[in-house]
């Protein structure tokens, strides 16, 4: 099962975070979460079993 570990306010930001997490060795994916007019929010998803570790790395990277 996939778990949301981060919300990004643009696709470019989501791609950047995905790239950084992938370089750290995690498998993550991007999914659209919400769209209102021209604003779209994307979820960064990680497997449930490593979600906490991914969140720790996100914090360590200052994202």
Provide, for the chain, the percentages of residues in helix, strand and coil under a 3-state DSSP scheme, each rounded to the nearest 5. Answer: 45, 40, 20
- Would you kindly state where each structural domain of the chain is located, as residue ranges? 2-61
CA distances from 15 to 1, 7, 21 (A): 21, 12, 10
Decide yes or no: CATH 3.30.70 for domain 2-61. Answer: yes
Cβ–Cβ contacts within 10 Å for residue 62, how many? Answer: 5
Q: In this predicted structure, what is the pLDDT of residue 63? A: 84
Q: In this predicted structure, what is the pLDDT of residue 60? A: 93
Structure confidence by residue, pLDDT tens digits, 12-51: 999 999 999 999 999 999 999 998 888 899 999 999 999 9
Q: In this predicted structure, what is the pLDDT of residue 35? A: 87
Q: In this predicted structure, what is the pLDDT of residue 37? A: 84
């Amino acid at each position: 099962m996939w778990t949301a570990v981060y919300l990004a306010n643009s696709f470019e930001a989501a791609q950047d975070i995905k790239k950084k997490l992938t370089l750290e060795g995690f498998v993550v994916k991007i999914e659209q979460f919400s769209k209102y007019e021209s604003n779209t929010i994307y979820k960064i998803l990680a497997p449930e079993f490593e979600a906490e570790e991914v969140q720790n790395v996100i914090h360590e990277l200052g994202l």
